[in-house]
Chain A
Amino acid sequence: MPRSARAAAAAVALLVLGACTVATPGAADPTLGDLRGRTLHVLATWSGTEQENFRAVLDEFERRTHATVQYTSGGTDLAVLLNSQIAGGQPPHIAFIPQPGVVAELARRGVLVPLRGAAAEAVRRNFSQTWQDLGTVDGQLYGLYFKVANKSAIWYRADAFEEAGVTPPSTWDELLDVSRTLVEAGITPMAIGGADGWMLTDWFENAYLRIAGPERYDALARHEIPWTDPTVVETLTLLADYWRTPRYVHGGAAGGTQVTFTQAVAEVFGSRPSCAMLFAADFVTVEINALDRVTVGEGARFFPWPSIDGSPPAVVVAGDQAVALRDTPETHALMTFLASPEAAQIMASRGGFLSVNRNLDPAYYPDDVTRALAAAVTDTPLLRFDLSDLTPQAFGGGSSAHMWVLLQNFLADGMSPAEVAQRLEEAASRDFKDDG
């Protein structure tokens, strides 16, 4: 069985890795240097299990270099914390920032340290050109994507699909057929956690990438084309047609904005499920496991966001970018280590983590679902970063950001696609100008 064979391979690899570190007690890793007595501060959004898993990576770094790493979780207010630390003259050595827009802003303010030497080399060796480009601002390499999220997966309850006698759709028309059949079977097709605005921006981004294509997607992210563009209206119309079809969405369109992401997960995978599908990024598996009703990969499966009008396969991703804020040897050493497949292995084997390190052996992922999600990101010919994260924070980066709120109003109020496009454009002209 290939699966167990791979698992065995992973176990062996881990043992070898363990043996290596055990075999050289006291001696520091020559590539990273001996950093005895040095202390690093690291800031990221991760808390709970993710924090524990990341701590394991840092522990390994400490073991190799004898440096001390202090980790601080910034939670959702990371940008605020980071800004105040910068203003106070005590920035962390390394921060993991989810929004490329924020990274670009910090780089232009001259707060970030460009990657060079061994760290830059490690990034070039281990990451594809796409990901190097995403970490580059004005021709300078600043960031490495340590953890990414696959945002183009639609999750479904296998027994609901079975009951309705449907199979995962691969095109939008098939998705409509599947949804209609589910309604006929008395099952609500889709749960939308519209109380969390990012759920809706993810809908928009996936549909837009497929309808308008990558060039327009990039242009829209930079606000080089207006939000009143026909492709935007077309995308909003497509979404509205789905969201507003009676019985397609849990609670109806207006009710959709009252349901949070966690509640939506429970509507599909909880103890009293009412819906069959949920569109959510790969980190939903953590929530599904927490509910402990269905097993990811068996009761809970996913299919890629369907193609629209024959569009090629495409994946929308998000990710936490590690950037350096202090120009010290220990900073560069940790960046070098983070860019290595060894660092990715530690976190990958613990689950709930996707890496785009091309030298990471997929065998390290704990299950087939994670492997498939990771493969979708690394193998896709068309990859785009989450559009809302590329825009200025006031437009796309928080619970009161205009794009989030306007899409929520669009879902709840029955505004026409043209009208909401107009309002998005008004907000964008303001927010992009403020940002510029």
Chain B
Amino acid sequence: MRRFFSAGRPPGRRWRNERRLIAALFLGPAALTVLVLVAYPMAHTLWLSLHDTSTGAFVGLANYGRMFSTEETRRAILNNIVWVVVAPTLVTVLGLMLAVLTQRVRWSTALKTILFMPMAISFLAVGVTFRLVYDEDPERGALNAALVAVHDAFSPPSRYYGVAPRDGTGLVPADGGYETADPVPASEPVAMPVVGLPRDRIPSEAAPASRPEAGVELRGVVWLDFTRGGGGEAGEIDATEVGLPGMRVEAVRDGQVVATTTTDASGRFVFPGLTEGDYIVRLAATNFTEPFRGVTWLGPRLVTPAVIGTYIWIWAGFAMILIQAGLAGLPRDVLEAARADGASDWQILRRVTVPLVWPILVVVLVTLSINVLKIFDLLYVLPPDSVQDEANVVALEMYRVSFGGGLDYGLGSALAVLLFLLVLPPMLFTIRRRRRERL
């Protein structure tokens, strides 16, 4: 510098002052902005984190102590660790796979555009959308609707799920079905009143129930013992009550099923040939198989994996594009040499491609790690309030304690400081890398 000055004009005090002034003029606005918008809030956050919010008294590190002692915050920190370990890795691996694979398909540009598109949607909108995708009710949740459709294709629910015998009519639960509490003699018709079938699930072929005609074989009737609009007598076949056709009925003797039959349109059944002795009559469990209702994605146990899944959906395309840029810069001759040497695709990927794009993978991984540490919006909108405790991360907990109810800015600021400290290592790593690259 000094040499530069001496080469030009003689170094004068005025000239130096002038240069300082110009520098200050140009730097000033930016420096002021940084001071006001970055340095001051940071200092103030630090100050807040050392003070009690309601009294304003200095409390030292008490807020930091509380941070690690309350259950909610501990859970948030733990969840953040899970996020940092799992999410960036999965996104990078998936991005690499997509980058390699999309090179080989014909409509690769179109495909890449589609894969990249989630990045164009705001996280808030993604959160709201996936709340619907993950909804537990298959009527609303797309994912569960698909699961239920697949499940029902292989094992459909029974016709009479949800149906149970009327109380106090001598029928007791047995192996998922219902049976007579005591053995009944074959000569006496068995009345099996059941309730709980919604109107829209009454089979169309169901006919009015009637008592079976007297006979010598074991027989009985299964009917829906509920008169619409009320007024029916419990355990009696009333005028408008219908039989339940197609119900599987078993006759049991000494714990062994000795005969099986099915009810007719008016709910009657007969066991041909069973004329002697006493039997327990059972409505088989297969009549009552409950429908599969899907998975509680946003329940306490699956909520974190579910939200991470959404995160991957958003970022995989981004990782793919970055890695693809790296792949495009690979020296062709190396790949061709490997191929000429007879390496398989898998070997090329593992021994040639990955080591060559490794620097890019590290950049993607570090960028995503910083991003994941700060994750907030997805977790704010996606999980229902009831599982926010289980889905909690540090940034969300920071918002919840500061603004969500307690207005505890002290604890919130302490969490913000923690978050800052957590982001530091990957940030420093990136800066160091940049510097090295420049050298």
Tell me the A residues contacting B by CB distance below 8 Å: 77, 79-80, 83, 162-166, 181, 183-187, 194-197, 247, 251, 254-255, 257-260, 263, 272, 392-394, 397-401, 404-405, 408-409, 412-413, 431, 434-435
Contact = CB atoms under 8 A, between A and B. Distances in A.
Contacts of A400: 72, 385, 388-389, 400-401, 404-405
Residue among B230, B299, B385, B389 facing the most chain A CB atoms (10 A cut-off): B385
23 contacts: A163-B199, A164-B230, A184-B196, A185-B195, A186-B162, A186-B198, A186-B226, A187-B198, A195-B386, A247-B162, A254-B299, A258-B137, A258-B299, A393-B406, A393-B407, A394-B408, A399-B405, A400-B388, A400-B405, A405-B388, A408-B386, A412-B300, A434-B406
Given A163-B229, A251-B137, A400-B400, A80 B407 contact: yes
B296 A166 contact: no
A212 B197 CA distance: 38
Interface in B130-152: 135-137, 139-140
Interface of A is mostly: helix
B238 to A, nearest CB: 12
B385 A408 contact: yes
B430 interface: no
A325 to B, nearest CB: 17
Nearest to B404: A400
Contacts, number: 109
Residue among A80, A165, A260, A400 facing the most chain B CB atoms (10 A cut-off): A400
Contact of B385 (A181, A197, A255, A394): A197
Nearest to A200: B386
Nearest to B131: A260
A-B pairs, 6 with minimum CB distance = A165-B230, A398-B405, A186-B198, A394-B406, A184-B195, A195-B384
Contact of B296 (A164, A254, A409): A254
A201 to B, nearest CB: 12
A247 B385 contact: no
Nearest to B197: A186
A263 B139 CA distance: 12
B384 A260 contact: yes
Nearest to A256: B386
Interface residues of B, number: 39
A402 to B, nearest CB: 9
Interface in B167-201: 195-199, 201
B298 interface: yes
Contacts of B140: 263
Residue among B196, B296, B403, B407 facing the most chain A CB atoms (10 A cut-off): B407
A251 B137 CA distance: 8
A315 to B, nearest CB: 26
A434 B230 contact: no
Contacts of A196: 385
A434 B166 CA distance: 53
Given A258-B298, A398-B405, 17 more contacts: A163-B199, A165-B227, A185-B228, A186-B162, A186-B197, A254-B299, A255-B136, A258-B136, A258-B299, A263-B137, A393-B406, A393-B407, A394-B405, A400-B72, A400-B405, A401-B405, A405-B389
A400 B73 CA distance: 12
B196 A247 contact: yes
A412 B388 CA distance: 13
Interface string B411-434: 000000000000000000000000
Contact of A393 (B384, B389, B405): B405
Interface string B382-409: 0011111100000000001101111110
Contacts of B230: 164-166, 181
Contacts of A77: 403
Contacts of A183: 195-196
B195 A434 contact: no
Contacts of B17: none
Nearest to A181: B230
Interface string B71-99: 01000000000000000000000000000
Contacts of B384: 195, 257-258, 260
Given A77-B403, A258-B296, A400-B404, A251 B229 contact: no
Contacts of A165: 227-231
A60 to B, nearest CB: 34
Interface string B188-221: 0000000111110100000000000000000000
Contacts of A255: 136, 296
Nearest to B399: A400
B233 to A, nearest CB: 12
Contacts of A185: 195-196, 198-199, 226, 228
Nearest to A401: B405
